[in-house]
Amino acid sequence: MPKFMLLQNYDGGDCLVPMNEWAPKDVTAHIDFQHTLNKQLEASGELVDAQGLAWPEAAKIVRSDGVGAPAVTDGPFLEGKEFLAGYRMVDVESEARALEIAAMSSASPGPDGVPMRLSIEVRQVMGAPTTDG
């Protein structure tokens, strides 16, 4: 079965209020929705992993030539308001099922329970090429 990475981009979707300004009940409803979806996917055997990510301000960028000490900097520094907020790795029968799960995630509730319509990037996980001759 193919695996897909569902990248949850926080672009605000249809919600114009940043999550850190939501009422606590709305944040709780959003997180509960994510946990419920994960439990459903676990029960169906489709969930590989799902995690939320720290805000971009906590991110680091590492560059290395493999010889010297790596350069570690703060970042990325965003020009816009979109950032990678989390991911789900799913192991499903088809791309169509991955898209269906992405649609469920996109409809996660925002303030007052209104679906956010977040952008969910769906990418199939590629296996490493073989090095056998």
Q: Parse the chain into domains and list their residue ranges.
A: 3-124
Cis peptide before 24 (omega within 30 of 0): no
Which residues are registered as beta bridge partners of 5? 89, 123
Q: What is the mean pLDDT of residues 70-74?
A: 90
Q: What is the mean pLDDT of residues 101-126?
A: 93
86 against 19, higher pLDDT: 86
CA-only gyration radius of the chain, Å: 17
What are the tens digits of pLDDT across the range 4-51? Answer: 999 988 776 677 677 888 999 999 999 999 999 999 999 999 999 999
Instruction: Compute the distance between CA of residue 6 and CA of residue 100 in angstroms, rounded to an integer.
Output: 11
DSSP state of 53: -
Q: What is the mean pLDDT of residues 111-133?
A: 86
The pLDDT of residue 78 is: 58
Q: Is CATH 3.30.70.1060 the classification given to domain 3-124?
A: yes
By three-state DSSP, how is residue 73 classified?
Answer: strand
